[in-house]
Structure 1
Amino acid sequence: MIEAENLVKTFGSTHALRGISFTVKNGEIYGLLGPNGSGKSTTMKILAGILRPTSGRVLVDGVNVSENPIKVKEITGYVPETPVLYESLTPIEFFNFIGSVRRIPGERLNEMVETLVKAFGIEKYLGELIGSLSFGTKQKVSLISALLHDPKVLILDEAMNGLDPKSARILRELLLQFKGEGRSIVFSTHVLQLAEMICDRVGVIYNGEIIAEGTVDELKKFAHEESLEDVFLKLTESQDEIFAVVQALKERL
């Protein structure tokens, strides 16, 4: 389980987070949705122990992330919004490096690498330098490296970015499998149809605050809308802006 309590994060005079709180239960996929600059990635980095909050705390499986980030990282798989990889290594070298850092037994590591590499279809790139790979292939390398140690908790920040339809479907099915095994998953995405499809609950973050939270059906009822996309646009005050932009385009084109 993940428990975020009153998270505040400031960067100088900028308030990225303004006291957000939410929980992610075991066997639950929690969607964190919000426009660019709303605080999603900052939240994800705090959950993963990459950033320390200015105040507030995060508990992962009962462990305080700020006090014991190493223990939390042992059970957590984190995929950042933009892949962070050693580009002078090949994917197989990078996987072996991750395996050594995480102390994954050799035979188990080989099994996981073989299974995941085949699933995401990157066999032919294992000997290529990561720096020469496409964004989508780098994203697959990042995903695989986050799954090698079979984590209990997954923190995925726009993990579908750059994935081809087949790989996106495989990841979606994998997340549903993990959910069934009782793992906790936090998932941010701009693909609202995907969030509507797989998330048990959704938190909408705007200007560093959680402005709405609940199941997709609860949010639709709350906002009096038929789709999660319309709920999102209404809650983040984007509907009127979009209408004005579209009208201006119609007049000019």
Structure 2
Amino acid sequence: RSLAESLDAELLMYLAQRRITPGFLNEIDLFLRGHPELAEYTPDFVRRFNNARPLAAYRFFLKGYTRPARYVPGILPERDDQITLPHELPSVASTVDDELVDFFDGYEYRYDILRRIDDQVRALCNFLRSGGRLTWTQRLLVGLTLFGNPVDAYKHYEYNYQTEWLPHRYLPEHVVLSEVPKEPDYSVPTARVRTLDGADDKTRHTFLNTRRKMARANDAGV
């Protein structure tokens, strides 16, 4: 099925209320079409998605999606000078978001991580007020917290931003892909530097940042 082609009024109204662009439905369609193996390895997921009404199917898909939704252009700031800081910052830990409730359904509701997001955003906003400049990922976290939906702020923080629990940084785009077996020749990538003659040179230290990240991921069991 195609969520984008359904043109379902209930779904489109829901997206508008949450400031999500209808084009996000195309991304979901492309993801599903790009993984036909799901029909073989996760038939229950496919059946539930196909049999639900469009809005219910959309929310069912999002429960395992590890990326933020895509917002209507102009909602999230692309530059620091586009961020208007409110007098009182919103709190993702104290805001009720039905999608976030769905996301945690069956698991512990992670107030500790949500409070960590609030603390991080508060620090970044203070940094902005003092004339600091944010990185792209910092700006996105601030934008999702101030102008987006709590579930997307959580997903960006937990699966793209934080560095305390690296396995979550390396999850696939949707957790359902974890149920698809790896190819027989799949292997964990190893960081190496190539010399001019093509031999591995393990004594050189170029690309240190990449090598350090891969080493930390390996230590974390990723």
TM-score for both structures, normalised by structure 1 = 0.31
Structure in which a larger fraction of residues adopt strand: 1
Relative contact order higher in (CA < 8 Å, ≥ 6 apart): 1
